[in-house]
Structures are given as C-alpha cells and as structure tokens.
C-alpha cells in the first residue's frame, strides 16, 4: 500500500498509508492530523488544508487549477511548493509523497 510521509507543524514526522481514490486531505484527516481543518470538506473553497509538497516531488502531481492557486496564494504562508491537500488525488504513483502541514493563517 502507498505511503505518505507527513511533517506536522511541530516538526513530528509520521508515515501513513494512503488509499488510492482519496484526496491527500481525506487521508490526513482520517489519520488524525487535526491541523488539517478542511473546513470546506474538499470543495476548494478555503485554504485550511494547505500543505507544502517537497519541491523535488511537485512534478509528480497534477497541475494546480486556477481556483486552487488563487486560494493558496492568498494565504500568509504561501510558497512555491504550496498546495491544497484536498486537490491532490492520491494514487499508488504517489507512494512516498512528502508533505508538511503549513502554518495556520
């Protein structure tokens, strides 16, 4: 089963199993990462599931939509590797994906 390596806001690193067909946000939420508020439930209308994807892995992801970019770029903690975890569809091809939960706005 494919894994996601998650760094929390406090720097704790965990490895969780990801189920293909779910978003990274759903996987993080279902594995008890309470730092992922996911207020909009994954509809790309807030930025409470903001994560940083390791720069060397960004090319493994589908391109960011304009809506996602607009939301994530308006946060106080936007970086080039910023993504909304609700917009990352997890699959076996993303095994080993490394994300860091962004600071809360």
Q: Tens digit of pLDDT for each residue in 59-90?
A: 999 999 999 999 999 999 999 999 999 999 99
Nearest alpha carbon to residue 7 among 26, 38, 33: 33
Find out whether 50 and 72 touch, Cβ atoms under 8 Å: yes
pLDDT of residue 105: 84
Q: What is this structure's pTM?
A: 0.95
User: 95 burial class (0-12, 13-18, 19+ CB within 10 angstroms)?
Assistant: middle
Say which residues have a Cβ less than 8 Å from residue 63's Cβ, sequence separation at least 6. none
Domain 3-101 listed as CATH 3.10.20.30: yes
3-state DSSP call for residue 6?
A: strand
Find out whether 35 and 102 touch, Cβ atoms under 8 Å: no
Find out whether 76 and 105 touch, Cβ atoms under 8 Å: yes
Supply 86's token pair: 């609700």
E-strand spans in the chain?
Answer: 3-7, 13-17, 50-53, 82-84, 97-101
pLDDT of residue 62: 95
């Amino acid at each position: 089963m494919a894994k996601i390596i998650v760094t929390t806001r406090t720097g704790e690193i965990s490895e969780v199993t990801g189920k293909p067909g779910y978003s990274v946000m759903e996987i993080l939420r279902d594995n008890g990462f309470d730092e992922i508020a996911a207020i909009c439930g994954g509809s790309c209308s807030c930025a409470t599931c903001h994560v940083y994807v390791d720069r060397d892995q960004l090319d493994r992801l589908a391109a960011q939509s304009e809506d996602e970019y607009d939301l994530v770029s308006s946060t106080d903690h936007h970086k080039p590797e910023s993504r909304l975890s609700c917009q990352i569809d997890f699959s076996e091809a993303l095994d080993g994906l490394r994300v860091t939960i962004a600071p809360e706005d």
